[in-house]
Structure 1
Amino acid sequence: MNDLNDLNGRPVEPEPRFRIRAHHTESTLTVYQAYRPEIGAAAARTGRFPSAWSRERMTWIKPSFLWMMYRCGWGTKEGQETVLAVEISREGFEWALRNACLSHYVPDLHSDQADWKRQLRRSPARVQWDPERDLHLSPLPHRSLQLGLTGEATVRYADEWIVGIEDVTPLAREVHARVRAGELDRAAALLPEERPYPVAEEALRHLRR
């Protein structure tokens, strides 16, 4: 018996535990971030992050809209009031995957903790797999990719990979309002279309725990 449900609670076939799902085109995919309005509004207006955005800090990008909603509380959490959809090149995204390390130690993937720590120190990107979320922001059995960028990856993200930035805070509020009203079908219809992302198996082999 299938006990898995979709965003509206209807039974669906099981999702692979680790698979990247994203809104993507032939050359780009969309990731989400949330910032305070001074940064988010400026980024959406110019298509680039302003000088107040630090290239020295790790920045996390999320291909899942609903996981972003979980993280930022539908854009209500302090410092995360402006939700951005950042369209980036697939070439850049896949470079980050190839050069990423898992954010935690996994015995089956690393010879020992010292080896993992060495990889972590030299990797410009790191990956976490967190439970995907439904419209109520409850966890689902399958995982959603979070990609942390630091050093060279942060600079490339900001200066090379970005194709466009859109303020999707109004969308977040509208979806949230539909959910609160119990209109789950209407809420689901508003969500960005996220499909399995076609990435080579070898690009993820070192990133699955």
Structure 2
Amino acid sequence: MLTSLYSDQSTNWPASGRYILAQFTPTTITVYQAYNRFIASYAVQHQTLGGPDFSLTRMTWIKPNFAWMMYRSAWATSKNQEHILAIELQRTVWDEMLLHGVVSSYGQSRAFANQEEWNAELKNSKIRIQWDPDHSLKGGKLKRRAIQVGIKHEWMENYLEGIVRIEDITEFVREQGKLVEGGLLDAVMTPTETIYEVSDAIKTRLGMDMDEEAGDD
């Protein structure tokens, strides 16, 4: 995992709009999930998600944006989110999930002719896309939107098959969390993230071609 000073790289990110900020290579993208120690231990040992404590039937949410994951898990201190997994996923699988996903709120995308069409697709879709406010290291809400992707059923199987590597980065997270808590924000290191470019079809599907205020809650 490549890391950089958050204070340096955040100045290069868009202040508003819907963007996928992520760490990626020509073939993989890193996404994050937070679990308890039992699920995390199994995942690292077996390099897949599973085991007696993991549910394959419920919707699983994955996030490519590190800062948003830190906000959601309170820097790995929230209950059942004490361990942060960095999961390298094949980009082909990630892109397919985006292309088949349905935004969680009507009006966030021009891909649907009307609300009835959106409702029907959302009801039948196994992939849900949410654009949530991104957050600063201290948890402050930003104008920029961060993506999270919820998957279930056959797409969960596709996701597991697309996993290249799983790493438990909890120790790193806690070290950086202590710096944040101590107000040493200029010293905080985070995974190096840049804008992940997608096809025009995905941009339209996910409303990335719309003004950031359109359809936002």
Fold similarity call, TM over 0.5? yes
SS of residue paired to 2:204: helix
Is residue 183 of structure 1 aligned with residue 181 of structure 2?
Answer: no
Q: Distance in 1 between matches of 2:61 and 2:108?
A: 24
Check 1:121–1:13 CA distance in 2 against 1; reply closer, same or farther (3 A cut): closer
The separation in 2 between residues aligned to 1:165 and 1:14, in whole angstroms, is 29
1:117: which partner in 2? 119
Root mean square deviation of aligned Cα: 2.1
Aligned residue number for residue 138 of structure 2: 136
CA distance in 2, matches of 1:91, 1:107: 24
User: Which residue number corresponds to residue 31 of structure 1?
Assistant: 31
Q: Answer yes or no: is the 8 Å Cα contact 1:65–1:192 preserved in 2.
A: yes
Equivalence for 1:151: 153
Matching residue's letter, 2:195: P
Deviation digits for residues 135-164 of structure 1 (CA, Å, limit 9, x no counterpart): 112111111011111221111112x11001
Give aligned-pair identity as a percent: 36
Amino acid at match of 1:50: G
Query: After superposition, what is the alpha-carbon deviation per residue over 1:154-188, rounded to whole angstroms, capped at 9, x for unaligned?
Result: 11112x1100111011111011111122221211x
- Quote how far apart the aligned CAs of 1:40 are: 1.0
Question: Taking structure 1 as reference, are residues 178 and 120 closer, same or farther at Cα in structure 2, changes over 3 Å only?
Answer: same
Aligned equivalents of 1:107, 1:93: Cα separation in 2: 20
The unaligned stretches of length 5 or more in structure 2 are 208-214
- TM-score by structure 1 length? 0.89
Corresponding residue for residue 82 of structure 2: 81
Per the TM alignment, residue 11 of structure 1 is displaced from its structure 2 partner at its CA by 6.7
User: Relative to structure 1, is the Cα distance of residues 89 and 106 closer, same or farther in structure 2, using a 3 angstrom cutoff?
Assistant: same
Q: Which has the higher contact order (CA 8 A, sep 6+)?
A: 2
Displacement of 1:13 after TM fit? 7.3
CA distance in 2, matches of 1:112, 1:67: 31
2:61 counterpart SS class: strand
**What SS does the aligned partner of 1:115 have?**
helix
How far apart, CA to CA, are the structure 2 residues paired with 1:195 and 1:14?
10
1:200 deviation in Å?
1.1
Q: State the SS of the aligned residue for 1:84.
A: strand
- Residue 196 of structure 1 aligns to which amino acid in structure 2? I
Distance 1:51 1:177, change over 3 A: same
Aligned to 2:202: 203
The verdict on how the C-alpha distance between 1:111 and 1:84 changes in structure 2, with shifts beyond 3 A counting, is: same
1:44 shift after superposition: 1.6
1:3 matched to which residue of 2?
Answer: none
- How far apart are residue 91 of structure 1 and its match? 0.2
Q: 2:32–2:87: 8 Å Cα contact kept in structure 1?
A: yes
26-35 vs 12-21, which moves further: 12-21
- Structure 1, 85-94 or 106-115: larger mean CA deviation: 106-115
TM-score, length basis structure 2: 0.85
The one-letter amino acid of 2:63's match is K
Q: Does 1:58 align with 2:59?
A: yes
CA contact (8 A) 2:102 2:206 kept: yes
Q: Which residue in the other structure is 1:18 paired with?
A: 18
Q: Secondary structure at the match of 1:191?
A: strand
With over 3 angstroms needed to count, the CA separation of the structure-2 counterparts of 1:169 and 1:118, relative to structure 1, is: same
Q: Which runs of 5+ in 1 are unaligned?
A: 1-5
Would you say the 8 A contact 1:124–1:150 is kept in 2? yes
Q: Report the Cα offset of residue 121 of structure 1.
A: 2.3
